[in-house]
Amino acid sequence: MNNTVSAKNVGTVVLRAEDVWKSFDEGTITVLKGVDFEVNEGQTIALCGPSGCGKSTLLHLFGGLDEPDRGTVSVNGIEVNRHRNLLRLLRHEIGFVFQLHNLIPDLTLEENCLIPTVAAGIDHRTAQSRLRQLTDRTGLSHRLNQRIQKLSGGERQRTALCRALMNKPKILLADEPTGSLDEQTSSTVFELLLDIVATEGVTMVMATHDRELAVRCDRLVEMHDGRIHEPAAD
């Protein structure tokens, strides 16, 4: 089986996985089995597949949160290396949104959003300007001083989206971003997500179970048994 999936749109390849293998529990569970995968700049891609098929693992590898056992993962042509490029990658090139919002409960919405700017040493004025821009877009500007506990599920996930985009990354890795939300909120948040990534020119790879949401992306990629299949959309 040919696992190589070529990009639909002509453009610069920003994410590339070449013959990537990944296993857990000392090799007893192999999650990725020689994945070859490319993503072009500006695309929105939905990774679909059953639980345990390797969607999240692939996202973690692209984000430098984990290392492949074999094969290479590169972002913008540079191999993701945990020791050399990871900080730059996480600070400036990639944003993460998770199924659980992963916000810090004792901080306010504003403070949570500003965390990436603190990490990257971005000056306060620039950070505030970007914060206003994103919270205006996501309808959160009136909730800036609210603690996370006081926000609804949808607001929390929108906050997580703002945080992920604070440092203007060119790539957004979203792992079930609406998985913890009810249907209506999920749809709203997803609309917002698509709108913002389109406006900002962000490349998005989203792992999801929700095929209704998945088909609205530029590409839908199926994962089964540690391998990639495309196309699978109707």
Partner 1 sequence: MIFLKLIVTNLRRHRIRSFISIAGIAFSVAAMLTVVTILQGAIGMFSGILSSDSEIIVFERNVSDLFFSNVPTTAVEDIDGWPMVAHADPVLFGVVSSADHPIITCFGLNATDARIRKATWLQGDRTKFAQHADDVVLGVRAAEFLSAALDSHVQIGHAAFHVIGILKTANGFEDGGVFMPLGSAQSFFHKEGSSSVITIKLHNKEDAAIFKNSVKAKYPDLIALEDAEFTRSYSQFKILKATAWAVGGCGLLLGGLGVANTMIMSVFTRIREIAILRVNGFSNLQIAGMIFGESALVSVFGALAGVSIGTCFLYGLKLIPALHGYIDVAIEPGLMLIVILLALLTGVAGALYPAIYAMRIRAVEALRFE
Least distance (Å) between residue 226 CB and partner 1: 17
- CB-based contacts of 163, cutoff 8 Å, min separation 6: 95, 103, 112, 113, 115, 116
Q: Does 233 bind partner 1 (CB under 8 A)?
A: no
* Residue 114 C-beta: closest distance to partner 1, Å: 5
Q: What distance in Å separates the CA atoms of residue 53 and residue 208, rounded to the nearest whole number?
A: 11
Q: Which stretch binds partner 1 (CB under 8 A): 30-38, 96-104, 151-159, 179-187?
A: 96-104
Residue written as token pair 């060119």: 170
Q: According to the binding rule CB under 8 A, does residue 29 interact with partner 1?
A: no
Q: Which of 16, 137, 156, 163 is close enough to bind partner 1 by CB under 8 A?
A: 163
Nearest approach in angstroms of CB 103 to partner 1 is 8
In three-state secondary structure terms, 152 is coil
Strands 4-5 and 94-97: unpaired
**Judged by CB under 8 A, does residue 177 bind partner 1?**
no
| Residue reference for tokens 């994103």 | 134
Exposed/middle/buried for residue 113 (C-beta within 10 Å: 0-12, 13-18, 19+):
buried
Query: Is 87 a residue that touches partner 1 (CB under 8 A)?
Result: yes
Instruction: Specify the DSSP class assigned to residue 143.
Output: G
User: To the nearest whole angstrom, how small is the minimum distance from the Cβ of residue 124 to partner 1?
Assistant: 8
Total Cβ atoms within 10 A of residue 137: 18
* Residues numbered 104-123 forming contacts with partner 1, rule: CB under 8 A: 104, 106-107, 111, 114-116, 118-120
Among 9, 12, 102, 152, binds partner 1 (CB under 8 A): 102
Q: How far is the CB of 65 from partner 1 (least distance, A)?
A: 4
Q: Which residue has the tokens 């590169």?
A: 74
Distance, C-alpha 37 to centroid of its chain: 16
Residues that bind partner 1 (CB under 8 A): 60, 63, 65-66, 87, 90-91, 96, 98, 102-104, 106-107, 111, 114-116, 118-120, 163, 167
